[in-house]
């Protein structure tokens, strides 16, 4: 088949923070498809582009530092290259951190696909005083090396030309391969001899031998299944005797890097303090770092409330309200249940989701900027010592913080955490962060019940929520995760100006994926709850939901709640604000006075406190549940979390109720 007739498959690989997304977006623009790698919660991006009459399919591989099976990202990257054998692998390296970023190249070269090295961030390197001769590096490596500045669209045409040359076979491709450190050369040969002829296709034999020496669990498992008994015993005894080989393999790669860069790289004189160093003196300072972070987070809050909340209200009243009215008009003449289903059930449900969007978009955008600039890693660093108390580390702080706006981005944001255990714990705890919708409910009810003490009560509620979060973290970590703690090792990238295109595309993709995935579940549940609140007679007072509330009243009684408050609590599952709307319906305006006045007249302070508490800690809204399911990929963990939150919220608010009664409230 002629090359022109099929798309050339190009894989984009690189360590984190080397500007992979920027290059990917530059090449594919909006013609990209974002999804997940099969069975993994790792984002898979693919796009097509045409250059010089040739069609290219570009697959963005996850950012990884190495290719040993420590995380899903590493396995995905190497399995893709070994199994799909792309026509070219573009290895993006950070010119400012040349040696360290060539480590991945050292891992990519032995794989069965030609590599083109893109020397990105040449501008940042020059700023840091690092000077590199690309031709000299190319001569040493034996593969094309193309200097680029993806943020300014520089060098991209040269990169494409190199890709084309390699795919056409016009480039004398003779890579210099790294070897294991000399003192382990014999061992390597012994391992190779032990597995010779038994390595399943398409895994390269020498690569497999290296991975065995590195103690790679996936490859060890693979070979255990393939080798005959006697050879397996031989292999095990070699590996057992040389269980220190991992460092020898890694050292071998760095020795190779040293040889490759010796002539090409001129380093700055030590002592010169870079801009990043100067900024970090403040941003990572144990005290000033916290002050700066508090300032930035305050700004995020302000943005959310000043821009997001009015937008949310606008969408709710004008867009959703008008849409519902429009639907009612369009459906005149059809049975009234159909009109109600569409206007209240479907549009109400979709509307609830739509109103999430402004807050989500703002949070995604702010997160995107902070991440792109390089600040996110600093915030994680500053918060690390506090997160330790819960068996988490610094990286969990930001996702949890996002929860104050909305629990949905908090759960989605947990993706930045590599450790599976820490990620799961962060997701499970996220619903305990008081989100803005819960705060709205508190903000409405606290003044209604407590008048001038409302601010104090609201603060108390937030404090209570966060205390329960911290205690739950300690508890879950100690019991289910046996007190294990994830290691905290994280690169602090060099600061640079944000790339708006990259951020914009990321916000767009994340919002779209939320609407697509969470949307279906939210819609389904909204319709079901709507049906429960209307059937059989068409009003909420005699509906199944009301009957359910009455049925559950004994449980509600524990917290001093009557059936109406219980129903309001159940209704909050769609969206937290629904509690107030439901109370509005249940109390009506028959007895006169506003809802606030009626509530204050009906319930004692003890009940009010208990209701606020349970609102604060209750199971999250359906949107959050949907993303918890999506991100954990497990109904079991999702249900565990819901059960846990149910028990915690009911017992804490019962305790609050009885304590308040004892105090005579």
List residues near another protein by CB under 8 A.
Answer: 65-66, 68, 70, 96-100, 103, 128, 130, 214-215, 243-244, 246-247, 250-251, 254, 267, 270, 276-277, 280, 284, 286, 377, 380-381, 384-385, 388, 393-394, 485, 487-494
Task: Quote the least distance from Cβ 247 to another protein, whole Å.
Answer: 5
Instruction: Please state, in angstroms and rounded to a whole number, the distance separating the CA atoms of residues 353 and 288.
Output: 38
Task: Quote the least distance from Cβ 383 to another protein, whole Å.
Answer: 10
Name the 3-class secondary structure at 146. strand
CB atoms within 10 A of CB 333: 6
Task: Quote the least distance from Cβ 100 to another protein, whole Å.
Answer: 4
Question: Residue 459 has which token pair?
Answer: 């603060």
Task: Quote the least distance from Cβ 121 to another protein, whole Å.
Answer: 12
Instruction: Please state, in angstroms and rounded to a whole number, the distance separating the CA atoms of residues 576 and 352.
Output: 10
Task: Quote the least distance from Cβ 541 to another protein, whole Å.
Answer: 55
Instruction: Please state, in angstroms and rounded to a whole number, the distance separating the CA atoms of residues 103 and 254.
Output: 7
DSSP letter (8 states) at residue 154? B
Instruction: Please state, in angstroms and rounded to a whole number, the distance separating the CA atoms of residues 520 and 628.
Output: 14
Question: Residue 600 has which token pair?
Answer: 């204050």
Question: Residue 438 has which token pair?
Answer: 């819960």
Query: DSSP string covering 530-597, please?
Result: HHHHHTTTSSGGGSHHHHHHHHTHHHHHHTT--HHHHHHHHHTTT-TTHHHHHHHHHHTTTT-S-HHH
Task: Quote the least distance from Cβ 137 to another protein, whole Å.
Answer: 15
Q: In this structure, is the dihedral angle defined by the CA atoms of residues 77, 79, 80 and 81, taken in order, positive or negative?
A: positive
Task: Quote the least distance from Cβ 374 to another protein, whole Å.
Answer: 10
Whichever of 258 and 588 has its CB closer to another protein, that residue is 258
Task: Quote the least distance from Cβ 68 to another protein, whole Å.
Answer: 5
Instruction: Please state, in angstroms and rounded to a whole number, the distance separating the CA atoms of residues 249 and 220.
Output: 16
Task: Quote the least distance from Cβ 179 to another protein, whole Å.
Answer: 15
Question: Residue 352 has which token pair?
Answer: 């609830």
Whichever of 14 and 345 has its CB closer to another protein, that residue is 14
Whichever of 87 and 214 has its CB closer to another protein, that residue is 214
Whichever of 87 and 280 has its CB closer to another protein, that residue is 280
Task: Quote the least distance from Cβ 105 to another protein, whole Å.
Answer: 12
Whichever of 286 and 664 has its CB closer to another protein, that residue is 286
Whichever of 164 and 280 has its CB closer to another protein, that residue is 280
Instruction: Please state, in angstroms and rounded to a whole number, the distance separating the CA atoms of residues 434 and 163.
Output: 50
Whichever of 43 and 107 has its CB closer to another protein, that residue is 107
Using alpha carbons only, how large is the chain's radius of gyration in Å?
Answer: 29
User: Taking a C-beta distance cutoff of 8 angstroms, is the pair 60, 13 a contact?
Assistant: no
Whichever of 104 and 437 has its CB closer to another protein, that residue is 104
CA 421 to chain centre: 14
Task: Quote the least distance from Cβ 125 to another protein, whole Å.
Answer: 9
Whichever of 393 and 629 has its CB closer to another protein, that residue is 393
User: Taking a C-beta distance cutoff of 8 angstroms, is the pair 11, 46 a contact?
Assistant: no
Task: Quote the least distance from Cβ 127 to another protein, whole Å.
Answer: 13
Long-range contacts of 256-262 (CB under 8 A, 24+ apart): 256/106, 256/176, 256/177, 256/178, 256/179, 257/99, 257/102, 257/103, 257/106, 257/178, 258/99, 259/140, 260/102, 260/137, 260/140, 260/141, 260/176, 261/98, 261/99, 261/102, 261/137, 261/140
Nearest Cα residue to 11 out of 101, 116, 112, 90? 90
Task: Quote the least distance from Cβ 425 to another protein, whole Å.
Answer: 16
Q: In this structure, is the dihedral angle defined by the CA atoms of residues 448, 582, 608 and 614, taken in order, positive or negative?
A: negative
Backbone angles phi, psi at 147, to 5 degrees: -70, 135
Whichever of 196 and 244 has its CB closer to another protein, that residue is 244
Whichever of 83 and 385 has its CB closer to another protein, that residue is 385
Task: Quote the least distance from Cβ 70 to another protein, whole Å.
Answer: 5
Whichever of 98 and 146 has its CB closer to another protein, that residue is 98
Instruction: Please state, in angstroms and rounded to a whole number, the distance separating the CA atoms of residues 392 and 558.
Output: 34
Whichever of 377 and 595 has its CB closer to another protein, that residue is 377
CA 539 to chain centre: 41
Cis peptide before 264 (omega within 30 of 0): no
Q: In this structure, is the dihedral angle defined by the CA atoms of residues 648, 652, 653 and 658, taken in order, positive or negative?
A: positive
Task: Quote the least distance from Cβ 493 to another protein, whole Å.
Answer: 8
Whichever of 173 and 254 has its CB closer to another protein, that residue is 254
Nearest Cα residue to 163 out of 31, 54, 25? 54
Nearest Cα residue to 188 out of 169, 214, 170? 214
Whichever of 494 and 518 has its CB closer to another protein, that residue is 494
User: Taking a C-beta distance cutoff of 8 angstroms, is the pair 427, 396 a contact?
Assistant: no
Whichever of 258 and 298 has its CB closer to another protein, that residue is 258
Task: Quote the least distance from Cβ 108 to another protein, whole Å.
Answer: 13
- Cα end-to-end span (Å), the chain: 83
Whichever of 224 and 244 has its CB closer to another protein, that residue is 244
DSSP letter (8 states) at residue 227? S
Q: Is 52 exposed, middle or buried (0-12, 13-18, 19+ CB in 10 A)?
A: exposed
Instruction: Please state, in angstroms and rounded to a whole number, the distance separating the CA atoms of residues 106 and 92.
Output: 12
Task: Quote the least distance from Cβ 615 to another protein, whole Å.
Answer: 36
């Amino acid at each position: 088949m002629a090359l022109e007739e099929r798309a050339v498959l190009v894989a984009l690989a690189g360590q984190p923070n080397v500007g992979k997304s920027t290059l990917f977006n530059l090449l594919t623009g909006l013609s990209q498809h974002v999804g997940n790698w099969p069975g993994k919660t790792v984002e898979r991006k693919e796009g097509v582009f045409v250059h010089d009459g040739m069609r290219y399919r570009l697959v963005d591989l996850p950012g990884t530092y190495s290719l040993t099976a420590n995380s899903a990202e590493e396995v995905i990257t190497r399995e893709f290259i070994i199994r799909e054998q792309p026509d070219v692998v573009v290895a993006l390296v950070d010119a400012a951190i040349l040696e360290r970023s060539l480590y991945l190249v050292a891992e990519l070269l032995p794989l069965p696909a030609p590599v083109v090295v893109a020397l990105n961030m040449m501008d940042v390197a020059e700023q840091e005083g690092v000077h590199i001769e690309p031709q000299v590096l190319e001569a040493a490596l034996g593969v094309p090396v193309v200097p680029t500045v993806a943020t300014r669209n520089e060098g991209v045409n040269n990169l494409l030309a190199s890709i084309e040359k390699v795919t056409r076979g016009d480039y004398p491709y003779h890579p210099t391969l790294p070897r294991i450190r000399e003192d382990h050369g014999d061992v390597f040969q012994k391992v190779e001899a032990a597995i010779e002829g038994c390595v399943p296709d398409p895994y390269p034999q020498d690569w497999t031998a290296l991975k065995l020496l590195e103690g790679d669990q996936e490859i060890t498992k693979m070979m255990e299944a393939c080798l005959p008994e006697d050879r397996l015993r031989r292999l095990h005894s070699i590996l057992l005797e040389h269980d220190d080989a991992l460092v020898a393999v890694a050292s071998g790669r760095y020795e190779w890097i040293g040889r490759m860069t010796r002539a090409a790289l001129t380093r700055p004189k030590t002592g010169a303090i870079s801009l990043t160093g100067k900024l970090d003196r403040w941003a990572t300072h144990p005290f000033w770092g916290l002050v700066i972070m508090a300032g930035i987070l305050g700004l995020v809050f302000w943005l959310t409330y000043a821009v997001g909340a009015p937008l949310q209200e606008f969408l709710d009243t004008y867009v959703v309200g008008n849409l519902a009215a429009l639907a009612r008009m369009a459906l005149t003449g059809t049975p009234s249940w159909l009109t109600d289903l569409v206007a209240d059930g479907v549009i109400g449900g979709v509307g609830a989701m739509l109103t999430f969007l402004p807050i989500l978009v703002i949070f995604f955008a702010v997160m995107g900027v902070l991440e792109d600039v390089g600040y996110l890693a600093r915030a994680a660093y500053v918060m690390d010592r506090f997160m330790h108390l819960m068996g988490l580390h610094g990286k969990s702080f930001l996702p949890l913080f996002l929860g104050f706006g909305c629990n949905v981005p908090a759960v989605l944001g947990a993706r930045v955490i590599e450790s599976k255990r820490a990620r799961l714990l962060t997701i499970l705890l996220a619903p305990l962060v008081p989100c803005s919708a819960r705060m709205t409910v508190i903000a409405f009810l606290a003044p209604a019940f407590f008048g001038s003490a409302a601010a104090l009560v609201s603060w108390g509620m937030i404090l209570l929520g966060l205390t329960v979060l911290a205690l739950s973290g300690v508890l879950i970590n100690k019991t289910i995760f046996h007190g294990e703690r994830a290691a905290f090792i994280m690169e602090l990238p060099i600061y640079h100006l944000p790339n708006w295109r990259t951020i914009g595309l990321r916000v767009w993709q994340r919002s779209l994926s939320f609407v697509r995935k969470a949307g279906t579940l939210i819609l389904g549940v909204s319709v079901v709850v709507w049906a429960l609140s209307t059937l059989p007679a068409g009003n909420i007072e005699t509906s199944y939901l009301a009957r359910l509330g009455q049925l559950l009243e004994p449980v509600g009684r524990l917290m001093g709640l009557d059936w109406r408050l219980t129903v309001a609590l159940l209704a909050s599952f769609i969206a937290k604000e629904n509690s107030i709307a439901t109370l509005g319906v249940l109390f009506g305006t028959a007895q006169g006075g506003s809802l606030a006045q009626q509530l204050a007249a009906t319930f004692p302070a003890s009940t009010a406190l208990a209701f606020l508490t349970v609102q604060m800690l209750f199971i999250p809204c359906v949107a959050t549940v949907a993303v918890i399911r999506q991100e954990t990929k497990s109904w079991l963990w999702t249900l565990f979390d819901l059960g846990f939150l149910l028990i915690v919220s009911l017992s804490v608010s019962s305790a609050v109720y009885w304590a308040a009664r004892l105090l005579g409230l």
